[in-house]
Amino acid sequence: MKHLLLLLAWLLAIQPVTTPEAVAKPAHANQAAPNHFPSKVSLLTHAFEKLMALEPSLDSKMQFISLDWQMTDWKLSEDERNELIEHFHTKYGVEILFDSYHQLKEKNKQDPKTNSLYGILLNIEKLEIHSPESVTVIGGKYRSPLGAAGFTATWKKTKDGWEVVKVTDHWIS
């Protein structure tokens, strides 16, 4: 029994401590989009569109859509950002931002009485590149604490673009 307690104490001692800061930081494994990754904008467009399709009831009277992938290491050029803006502004007719939830709060894009955003936040939390033709995306759509949805989806590059091949952890609040 004494050895079992010592083993348990040792196992607990070697476990990493999870702090809020650690949770907020992205896991860097397989997230970086190398500059030679050929389809960053195409994948982001498809992923954000799939997120936008979640819970259409959240879209009423939206004033903006914020596309946020800051929790990943993916960087886009100005031209790539403009391509995303053009696509989403043309389709939805609202202002397109690239802000996180905290940045939106700082910019007064949230109703202080209801804590609801005046628009939609589409957030990609993690991108795992398996190959140039296979990527897993973890993300969500947020309007308020009681108005959000998300999924984990694996995408495959086809001759016609990106296609979802597996969706898991689909959630709605």
- Is 60 exceeded by the pLDDT of residue 165? yes
> How is residue 74 annotated by DSSP?
-
Average pLDDT of the segment spanning 27-38: 49
What are the boundaries of each domain within the chain? Answer: 38-172
Q: Which of 83, 82, 81, 125 is nearest to 100 (CA)?
A: 125
In the chain, the percentage of residues whose pLDDT exceeds 70 is 78
Residue type, 93: G
**pLDDT band, residue 108 (cuts 50/70/90):** very high
Between 6-10, 82-86, 99-103, 149-153, the lowest mean confidence (pLDDT) is in 6-10
Secondary structure element (H or E) that encloses residue 147, with its range: strand 147-158
The pLDDT value given to residue 129: 87
Secondary structure element (H or E) that encloses residue 51, with its range: helix 40-52
Looking at per-residue pLDDT, the higher value among 61 and 26 belongs to: 61
Torsion of CA 66, 96, 118, 105, to 10 degrees: 50
Strand blocks (E) in 17-145: 64-68, 95-97, 120-131, 134-144
The pLDDT value given to residue 171: 84
Average pLDDT of the segment spanning 3-15: 36
* pTM: predicted TM-score of the whole model, two decimal places: 0.77
